[in-house]
C-alpha cells in the first residue's frame, strides 16, 4: 500500500511523529500530504530550540495551538543576558540581529492562538513585560506560564498575572533577576492557588548601573548614621 492510500486519521498520526522539517519535506511530495501538513490538528504543540527556528516556514500557527515552548540553551544566550549597559559593540551587534524575533513571534501568537494553554520561555533574554501582558490578555485560557532566564521580565509581568491570569495554575519565574520579592508576594496574595516558583530570581542582583547602586548604598549608610 502506498502512503497516500492511508486515510486522513492515519496520515495525521504518522505526521505527528515527525519533526517540523520532515513534515514540510513530506508535504512537498504530493497534494494530499500537503493537505495533511496544513491540518490544524497537527499543530497543537510547537517546540523551538532557537530564535532562528521561528523564522522558518515549516510549521503552522493558528487557533489549534495549545502548547508552545521556546527554549534556547546555546552558549550565545549568555550574551543576551549581559546587562545592556555592560555590552560591548560586538555583543550589541549580535543581540540586534534577533532582539525582536521572539517578541514578534509572540505577538503573532497573541493574534492567532487564543486557545493557548501552556507557554514556556527559556533563555529568551529580549522578551519584555509588554509582550507578556498582551499574551495574558489575548490568551485567557492560559494555565501554565514558565519563564526561565528571561532577564527583562520584571514585576510588571507579575502584576499582569494578577490582573489577567485568572486561569493560571502554574507560574515559574526562575533565574529572572529583575523579579522582586514584593512582586512575588503580590501574586501569592491575589492568586494563592497558583503554584508559584521563583528559583534564583528575587535574590539576584537586578540590572542597575553601578552609579545607581552606589547612590543607594550611600543613602543607606546615611540612614544608618541617623
Does residue 1 lie within any of the structural domains? yes
Please check whether residues 23 and 113 belong to one and the same domain: no
Flag the least confident range among 23-32, 82-91, 110-119: 82-91
* CATH code, domain with 52: 3.80.10
Task: Report pTM.
Answer: 0.83
3-state secondary structure of 1: coil
What is the predicted pLDDT for the residue at 222?
46
Band of pLDDT at residue 2, cut at 50, 70 and 90: confident
**H helical segments located in the chain:** 8-15, 20-27, 31-37, 77-81, 89-96, 101-112, 129-138, 155-164, 181-190, 210-225
Band of pLDDT at residue 223, cut at 50, 70 and 90: very low
Q: How many domains does the chain have?
A: 2
> In whole angstroms, what separates CA 216 from the centre of its chain?
32
Please check whether residues 79 and 168 belong to one and the same domain: yes
Per DSSP, 40 falls in state G
Answer for the pair 184, 157: CB distance below 8 angstroms, yes or no.
Answer: no
Angle at 91 between CA 120 and CA 110, to 5 degrees: 30
Please check whether residues 30 and 49 belong to one and the same domain: no
User: Residue 136 belongs to what domain range?
Assistant: 43-197
Cell 504530493 appears where? 30
Mean pLDDT of 163-171: 96
Amino acid at each position: 500500500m502506498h502512503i497516500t492510500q492511508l486515510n486522513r486519521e492515519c496520515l495525521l498520526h504518522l505526521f505527528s511523529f515527525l519533526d517540523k522539517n520532515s513534515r514540510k519535506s513530506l508535504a512537498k511530495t504530493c497534494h494530499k500530504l500537503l493537505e495533511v501538513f496544513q491540518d490544524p490538528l497537527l499543530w497543537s504543540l510547537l517546540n523551538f530550540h532557537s530564535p532562528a527556528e521561528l523564522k522558518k516556514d515549516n510549521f503552522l500557527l493558528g487557533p489549534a495551538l495549545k502548547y508552545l515552548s521556546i527554549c534556547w540553551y546555546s552558549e550565545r544566550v549568555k550574551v543576551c543576558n549581559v546587562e545592556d549597559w555592560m555590552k560591548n559593540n560586538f555583543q550589541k551587534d549580535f543581540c540586534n540581529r534577533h532582539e525582536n524575533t521572539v517578541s514578534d513571534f509572540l505577538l503573532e501568537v497573541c493574534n492567532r492562538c487564543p486557545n493557548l494553554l501552556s507557554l514556556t520561555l527559556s533563555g529568551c533574554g529580549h522578551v519584555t513585560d509588554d509582550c507578556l501582558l498582551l499574551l495574558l490578555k489575548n490568551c485567557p485560557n492560559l494555565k501554565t506560564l514558565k519563564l526561565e532566564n528571561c532577564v527583562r521580565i520584571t514585576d510588571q509581568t507579575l502584576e499582569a498575572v494578577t490582573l489577567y491570569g485568572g486561569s493560571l495554575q502554574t507560574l515559574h519565574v526562575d533565574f529572572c533577576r529583575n523579579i522582586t520579592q514584593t512582586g512575588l508576594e503580590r501574586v501569592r496574595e491575589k492568586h494563592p492557588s497558583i503554584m508559584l516558583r521563583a528559583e534564583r530570581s528575587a535574590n539576584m542582583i537586578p540590572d542597575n548601573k553601578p552609579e545607581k547602586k552606589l547612590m543607594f548604598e550611600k543613602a543607606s549608610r546615611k540612614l544608618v548614621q541617623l
